[in-house]
Amino acid sequence: MRIVVLKERAAGEHRVALVPESVGQLVKAGVEMVVESGAGQAAGFPDAPYAAAGAALAGSANDALAGAHVVLKVQPPSLDEAGHLPSGALLISFLPASSAGDLLTQLANRNVTALGLERVPRITRAQSMDVLSSQATVAGYKAVLLGASTMPRLLPMMTTAAGSLTPGKAFVLGAGVAGLQAIATARRLGAVVSAFDVRPAVKEQVQSLGASFVAADAVGAGAEGQGGYARAQTEDEQARTQAALAGHIKDMDLVISTAAIPGKRAPVLITEPMVASMKPGSVIIDLAAETGGNCALTRAGETVITANGVTILGPVNLPATMPLHASQMLSRNILTLLRHLISKEGQLVISMDDEITGPMCLVHAGQIRSSS
């Protein structure tokens, strides 16, 4: 079996699908590995460690793809790249179906089977394959650093010869993987941290990290949906949530928002009046920017400075800004997935009845299986 790791060409993407350590483990298992030259360079993994791990280096994507059974990428292939994938091959990458209509058609026409990494089911067996969680860990950490570097004040309390400085106040909206990492990071930097989530089950996790849980009366017993994610709130529930948060957010120095609902627009939790009530110099880092934003004023990929001096950042693809560790975690996720797909006899087994493969599969046997 030949597995190919391609170089990322999407703007701003510096991660690589497999790092040399994972490549070496697959080679020891009898897999023929081919890595496009330069695939790991931006993540801190030059060609030499891949060659030392037993991979063959290909000078171009087309050379790498010759005879490929499995093709690994981080970002979805372009239409041109998809047109060069071998018929019958398996593609594994991020594949957001909502924005990949033409790509899925191209893959179906090429008879390529496609598994979307973001669709790994949230079940115990697939926990070590969960790329969304591993990459959210990086995003939550980096969001706090981004906020701290943007703020005009320090986060920790300091006692100096020039006097004492009070600690900054950080507020995290959404206590999923990214939110919990943001809480932990803000605490490590010395901030006084509070957090909110509509799911009552996470209150204990928030408090275990040393943060206070606010607006508990806005939490609903039925707020948790499939896979442990928050379900979409009704208009009335959302209004109550916004009202509960309004009195707290005005005193915050740093707000990290991470609330997301799979397959839907991110909920708007921070309204324009809330932003207007915040102090000059306050900073909002909206990790939900790519799906519409938790703040009504967020613009994906841009920085907005309001009339009252609040800075709102809508960063996109934060994990790619810390590509070494992001790639290491992503690589371990993909390696575990590959071990699930490869039989003891070394054969690739793609079954639509499998509880992991089935939900991940977007294209198979020339047909688009899902577009939602």
Give me the active site residues, please.
122, 127, 130, 133, 229
Tokens of 150: 């943007």
Strands 311-313 and 113-116: unpaired
* Phi, psi values for residue 194, rounded to 5°: -130, 160
Q: What element of type H or E holds 368?
A: strand 367-368
Specify the DSSP class assigned to residue 274: H
Q: Which of 331, 353, 314 is nearest to 135 (CA)?
A: 331
- 295 contacts 286 by C-beta, under 8 angstroms: yes
What ranges in 126-216 are assigned the alpha helix state H?
Answer: 131-150, 177-188, 203-208
Q: How far apart are CA 291 and CA 289, in angstroms?
A: 5
- 4 contacts 64 by C-beta, under 8 angstroms: yes
- 184 contacts 205 by C-beta, under 8 angstroms: no
